[in-house]
Amino acid sequence: MTSTERRPRRTARAAAAADATAAPVDEFDRLREIFQARLRGEHLQLVLLSASLARADESQSWIFEDLKFRAHRLRGGAGVFEITELATAANALEQAAILACETHTGNTDASVWSALGALVALLDGMQNAATLTIARAG
């Protein structure tokens, strides 16, 4: 290129457009990492809640409410990242906890224990086998 030729400049608009197309992938990767970290924390919380439920002798409504809340959030996150098995297991726990809240069942509710055990086992397997691979968009 000679000194009299003009070199094409990257305009601010072109730079912004390029950044806008790259940002969603980077942002999605960041969200994926956050979700993966959250799964480890949720696994621990579900284990602790199962221990609380096992030894509860009075009102378990707060435990069922917490299980319902956590399962709902897990189901939503799993749906975003298309982890169908996790979404299904979380939904089962959410529905069982909702029913347990409505019927004021005790700490031996079979549907809650079954769904809770399945979800904890799934999260445990995902952690131990390092198989948590969340699909990339696109």
Q: Is the pLDDT of residue 75 over 80?
A: yes
Stated pTM of the model: 0.73
What's the pLDDT tens digit per position in 81-133? 899 999 999 999 999 999 999 988 888 889 999 999 999 999 998 877 554 44
Q: Domain residues of the chain, as ranges? A: 60-133
One-letter amino acid at 59 equals S
Q: Is the pLDDT of residue 61 over 60?
A: yes
d(CA 61, CA 138): 42
- For residues 61-98, one letter each, b for 16 or more C-beta atoms within 10 angstroms of the residue's C-beta and e for the rest, the string is eebbebbbebbbebbebbeebebeebbebbbbbbbbbb
Query: Do 127 and 38 meet the contact criterion of CB atoms below 8 Å apart?
Result: no
Q: Is the pLDDT of residue 138 over 80?
A: no
What's the pLDDT tens digit per position in 7-48? 555 566 655 555 555 555 688 888 888 888 889 999 999 999
DSSP 56-80: --S--HHHHHHHHHHHHHHHHHHHH
